[in-house]
Homo-oligomer: A and B are copies of this chain.
Amino acid sequence: MSQAIKAVLFEESEVASIAKELGTDSLMGKSLAKLIADTDAFIALGIDVPGHSEAGGYAHNRHKQNYQYINQAGRLFLVTGQEKYAKYAGDLLLAYADKYLKLDFHKQLNTNPPGRLFHQILNEHVFLLNISLGYSCIRHYLSAEQQQTIVDGLFQPMLDMFTEKYDFDFDRIHNHGIWAVAAVAICGLAIDKPEYVEMSIHGLKGDDIEGGFLAQISKLFAPSGYYMEGPYYHRYAIRPLCLFAEAIHRHRPELDIFNFNGQVIGKTIKAMLATAYPNGVFPALNDASLTMDICDAGVIVALGLYAKHYGIDDDILGMAKIQDTVWVNGCGQALSEAYASNNAELNPCWPSVELNEGPNGDRGAQAFIRMQSDNGDVNQLVMNYGQHGMGHGHFDTLGISFFNNGQEVLREYGFGRWVNVEPKFGGRYLDENKSYARQTIAHNAVAVDQKCQNNFDVKLADSRHGEPHFFSGDDANVQGVSAFCRDFYEGVDQQRSLLLIKHEAFAKPILVDLFRLISDEQHQYDYAVQYAGQIVRTNFDYQTHKELDTLGDNFGYQHLWNVAQGKVANESNTSLVSWLQGNSYYTWLSASSSDDEIIFTRSGANDPSFNLRSEPGMVLRRHAKDTLFASVLETHGYFNEAIEASTEARGQVTAVNAIGTNEQGSVIEVVTAETTLTVMVSNQVGVTADTENSVTFNNQTFQWQGYFAVEARG
C-alpha cells in the first residue's frame, strides 16, 4: 500500500498478522474464507443503489446489504490487498454520495424519526457505522477528490441529520442511542472530524450526564452487567458498544475505556454471554425470538473484544467453537490464536450466576443455574425475578425455562412477530404478542383467577420487581434458587423455589419446583407448563373434548383451546404426565389431590391471521388460599426414531408428596421404587447459609441449616 492506512480499527501490523491466516483452517482463516466467498458473490451482482421500499422490501434489504458489503469489502481490501474490493466499496460509496441527498425522507410510521434510506433512523445509524468502517479501510485508495465527494454527499449530510435535525434523539440513554453515538463517532474518526468523536463520547452537552457513550454505559446496565430488556436486545446494543469501545481504546487511549466504571464493558459482555443456553441460543427473555444466538454478528464482535481485553478461558473458547468464526479484526485474531493453541477438549459449562437488576442492583435478578449430567450434557434453568423490561417486558415474574439435551424443555413462547417478513404486518409486532405472548398464562408460571400479573399494566409492572430469596449455584450435586413476588396479583404473594438435584437414582439431574401461593382469600391458581412433543402417558383419567372451546375470554386464555381435562384422582396423590421431545423422554409429576384438575391446552384459538404457533401446554388448576405446587421434572431415556431405538421410556420417580409448607419452610418427598428424597427448603425471609431451620408437619420435625437440604433414604 502506497499510503498509510487510516482504518479506524486496524493497524498495519494487525493486517499483516491476519493476512497470514488466509488459506489456513484456523478460526480466522475460516472466517476470511467465508467473508471472501460471501463478499465475492455479492460483488458479482453489480452495484445497485435503489430508492425506497417497504420494510422487508427490496430497497430496504438492498441498502442493508450495501452497507454490510462496503464494510466487508473494506476489510478484505486491507487483508488481501486486492484492489477489486477497494474499487467496489469506493464505487458504491460514490454512488450513494451521488444519490443520498436526492432521496426524500421516508414518512414517519412510529416514534422513530425517518431517514432518507430507511423508515427508521436506527437503520440509518447502522448504515453510517458500517460504511464509515469500510470507508476508513479504503480511504487511502481513494483520490482526495473522491474522498471529498463522499464526505460532502453522504457523510456530512448524515452527521447533520443525526446531530442537528434529530439532535433530540441523538445521545439519549437507550440501547438505540448507542448505535447513534457509535456511528457518529466512528464517522468522525474516518473523516478526521474529532468534534463528532467528542460529542459522541461525552454527549451533546459534553457533561457525561444526559447523553453520550460514557453516560450510556454508566446507566444502561445493572451492576451485574445485565441489561433489563434481556439478551435479545442486549446483543443488538453490544455491537456498536464494542465497536465504539474498541475505537476509543485505539484513538483516545487516555480514557482507559476497558477499565472505565469498574470494567463495565467486560462485565456487561460477560453477563450477556452468561445467559446463553449450552447450544449458544439466548433464552427468549422479554420480547425475543427463539433462535437468536451467539452467532449473531454483535456477539462475535463482543466475544473477540472480551477475549482480547479481558481474558480467555474454556467457556470463552467453547463459545468460539459454537460460533466457528471470529471477528475479522485484531481482537478476533487474538481469539483465533488462543483457540488454535488450545489442546484441551472443550465441554464448557458456564458457572451458575445470579444477575442483579436495576441501577443499584437492588431491583430483583435473573438466575441462570447450570449443572452437568454425567455424560457432560449441561442442564440449564432460567428464572426471572427481576424487572419487567419496559415496553418489551413479559408479565412472567417467577417464570422459568429449562434446557437440556440440546433443547428447551420448559419452553418460552418467544415473541409474536416475524421480523422482516413483510406480509406479516411488515415484520412488526403482531397483536397476538400482547394478547398472548406477553401474558402470564403463556409462561411457565402461575396465573391467578385467569388474569395476568399486574393486570397487564406496563407502568405498574415497571414499578415493581421480584425479591431474591436465596441463590446457591456452586455445588455439583444440588443447586437452588428462590424468590418472592408480592402482590403482582392483588392480595396474593408468590414464592418459587427451584432445585436441580443430581442423584444416583436418576440418569440426569431432576428439577424440583416448589411454587408457593399465599393469600387470605380463595383463588383459582393455574400452574402452567409449556412443553413440546408428544404425550406418552399419564397416570390419571381425562376426557378429550369432542368440540373445542377456549379456556377463557381474556389475558391470553382466549388463545388457548381446552383440548382435554381430568380430575387428578389416583392412589399416589401425584399427577404424572410424560412426553417425548426429540431424543428424550420427560416426566412431570406434581403432588395433587382429587380436587386438582389438569387441562391440556393448545395455542391458536381466536387467531384470525394464523399469527400464533400451535403449541401444546398444560395447566394444573387448584382452588385454594395458601397452597404449594410441589413438582418434579425428570429427564430420562433415549429415543431415536430413525434407528428405532428406545430405552427407559418410563422414569424413576413414582410420586411427589407435599409434606407441608409454612412461613418457615416447605418439605416434600420425591419417591422412587428404591429411594425417597426428602427436600427441605427455607421460606424464612432473610435466610442465610447459616440459618437454622426447623419445621414440624404432622408431628414430624425437619431440621436443616441454610437455604435447603436434600436427604436420601432407602
| Chain A contact residues, CB within 8 Å of chain B | 56, 61, 289-293, 295-296, 418-424, 427, 534-537, 544, 546-550, 561, 563, 578, 580, 600, 602, 604-610, 613-614, 616, 639, 641-647, 649-650
User: When the two chains form the complex, which single residue of B420, B535, B616, B649 contacts A646, counting CB atoms closer than 8 Å?
Assistant: B420
- If A418-B580, A614-B602 touch, does A642 touch B293 (CB 8 Å cutoff)? yes
Which of B423, B550, B609 meets A649, CB within 8 Å? B423
Bound-state Cα–Cα, A639 to B644, Å: 32
B639 touching A421, Cβ below 8 Å: yes
Q: What's the Cα separation between A578 and B421 when bound, in Å?
A: 12
Interface pair A641/B548, CB less than 8 Å apart: no
Q: Given contacts A544-B608, A546-B606, are A646 and B536 in contact (CB under 8 A)?
A: no
19 examples of A-B residue contacts, CB within 8 angstroms: A56-B649, A289-B642, A292-B642, A296-B642, A419-B644, A421-B536, A421-B639, A421-B646, A422-B649, A423-B537, A423-B649, A424-B536, A534-B610, A544-B608, A546-B605, A546-B606, A547-B548, A563-B604, A602-B614
A642 partner residues in chain B, CB cutoff 8 A:
289, 291-293, 295-296
Q: A61: which B residues are within 8 A, CB to CB?
A: 647
Contact status A644-B536, CB under 8 Å = no
Tell me, rounded to whole Å, the shortest Cβ–Cβ distance linking A122 to chain B.
14
Contact A606 B544 (CB under 8 A): yes
Q: Are A534 and B613 in contact (CB under 8 A)?
A: yes
List the B side residues contacting A544 at CB < 8 Å: 606-608
Q: In the complex, which residue of chain B has the Cβ closest to the Cβ of A61?
A: B647
Contacts A292-B642, A544-B607 known; list 19 others, CB within 8 Å: A291-B642, A418-B536, A418-B580, A418-B646, A419-B641, A420-B644, A421-B536, A423-B649, A423-B650, A424-B537, A427-B646, A535-B610, A544-B606, A544-B608, A546-B605, A546-B606, A547-B547, A548-B561, A600-B610
Give the distance to chain B from A546, nearest Cβ to Cβ, in Å. Answer: 7
- Tell me the bound Cα distance from A616 to B606 in angstroms: 16
Nearest B residue to A56, CB-CB: B646
Residues of B within 8 Å of A548, CB to CB, are 547-548, 561
Give the docked Cα–Cα distance between A457 and B580 (Å).
33
Residues of B within 8 A of A641 (CB): 289-292, 418-419
Give the distance in Å from the alpha carbon of A418 to the alpha carbon of B613 in the complex.
25
Asked if residues A536 and B606 are in contact (CB atoms below 8 Å), the reply is no
Q: Report the minimum CB–CB distance from A154 to chain B (whole Å).
A: 25
Residue of B nearest to A561 (CB): B548
- A282 to chain B minimum Cβ distance, whole angstroms, is 10
A422 touching B650 by the CB < 8 A rule? yes
The docked-state distance in angstroms from the alpha carbon of A341 to that of B276 is 43
Of A290, A291, A295, A534, chain B has the most CB atoms within 10 Å of the CB of: A534
In the assembly, what is the distance between CA of A61 and CA of B534, in Å? Answer: 23
Contact present for B546 and A547 (CB under 8 Å): no
Of the candidates A420, A561, A607, A608, the one having the most CB atoms from chain B within 10 angstroms of its own CB is A420
A487 to chain B, nearest CB (A): 34
Q: Which 10 A-B pairs have the closest CB atoms?
A: A548-B548, A535-B610, A420-B646, A291-B642, A419-B644, A291-B641, A423-B537, A421-B646, A544-B608, A423-B536
When distances are taken between beta carbons in the complex, the residues of chain B under 8 Å from A643 are 296
A424 to B646 CA separation, bound complex (whole angstroms): 11
Contact of A419 among B420, B608, B646 (CB under 8 A): B646
Residue of B nearest to A535 (CB): B610
Selected contact of A549 from candidates B291, B534, B547, B605, CB within 8 Å: B547
Min distance, Cβ A331 to any Cβ of chain B, angstroms: 21
Q: Please, how many angstroms separate the alpha-carbon atoms of A418 and B533 in the complex? A: 13
> In the assembled complex, which residues on chain B have CB atoms less than 8 Å from the CB atom of A427?
646
Which residues of B lie under 8 Å from residue A422 when comparing CB positions? 646, 649-650
Report the separation of the CA atoms of residues A604 and B293 in the bound assembly, to the nearest whole angstrom: 33
Docked CA distance A289–B646 (Å): 14
Which chain B residues border A614 with CB–CB below 8 Å? 602, 614, 616
